[in-house]
């Protein structure tokens, strides 16, 4: 992954995606995963899926695809754009798409809430 500090100042960093089938609606992205102060962002799995093909998200997480020199990239912006505090990252889209396909193999789209015990949740609310 590349962290763009300024328009012409790219800095390579390591990142790591993770997925927990127990929380199938979300994915986690850890920026600077091998650094002293890794930063964790949790956002909707569907947001990541949409971001691979079109601009998606508002607010704290925005994603969009970019095609350059015959290659596909995924751009991710995190932070508070209204306060001018954001970070912009670029990564090859293909490994993200392959990883995401594996997440959908574990928990298919539409089956995310299949294992929820709604009666237990109702009792907790009451």
The C-alpha atoms of residue 16 and residue 80 are separated, in whole angstroms, by 22
Looking at residue 1, its pLDDT comes to 62
Tell me which residue of 91, 66, 59, 61 sits closest to 77, measured CA to CA: 61
pLDDT digit string (tens) for the chain, length 126 residues: 656 665 666 788 889 999 999 899 999 999 887 888 899 999 999 999 999 999 999 889 999 999 988 999 999 999 887 777 888 899 999 999 999 999 999 988 987 877 666 676 577 787
The pTM (predicted TM-score) of the whole model is 0.81
Looking at residue 32, its pLDDT comes to 85
C-alpha to C-alpha distances, 1 to 22, 122, 125, nearest whole angstrom: 27, 42, 42
Looking at residue 10, its pLDDT comes to 76
Tell me which residue of 63, 43, 41 sits closest to 53, measured CA to CA: 63
The C-alpha atoms of residue 20 and residue 12 are separated, in whole angstroms, by 27
Residues sharing a CB contact under 8 Å with residue 80, sequence separation 6 or more, in sequence order: 59, 60, 86
């Amino acid at each position: 992954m590349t962290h763009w500090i300024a328009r012409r100042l790219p800095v390579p960093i390591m990142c790591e995606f993770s997925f927990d089938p127990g929380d199938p609606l979300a994915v986690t992205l850890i920026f600077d995963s091998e650094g002293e102060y890794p930063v964790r962002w949790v956002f909707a799995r569907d947001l990541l899926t949409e971001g691979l093909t079109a601009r998606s998200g508002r607010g704290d997480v925005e994603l969009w695809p970019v095609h350059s020199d015959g290659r596909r990239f995924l751009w991710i912006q995190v932070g508070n754009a209204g306060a001018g505090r954001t970070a912009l990252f670029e990564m090859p889209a293909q490994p993200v798409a392959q990883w995401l396909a594996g997440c959908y193999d574990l928990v298919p789209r539409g089956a995310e809430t299949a294992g929820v015990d709604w009666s237990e949740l109702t009792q907790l609310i009451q």
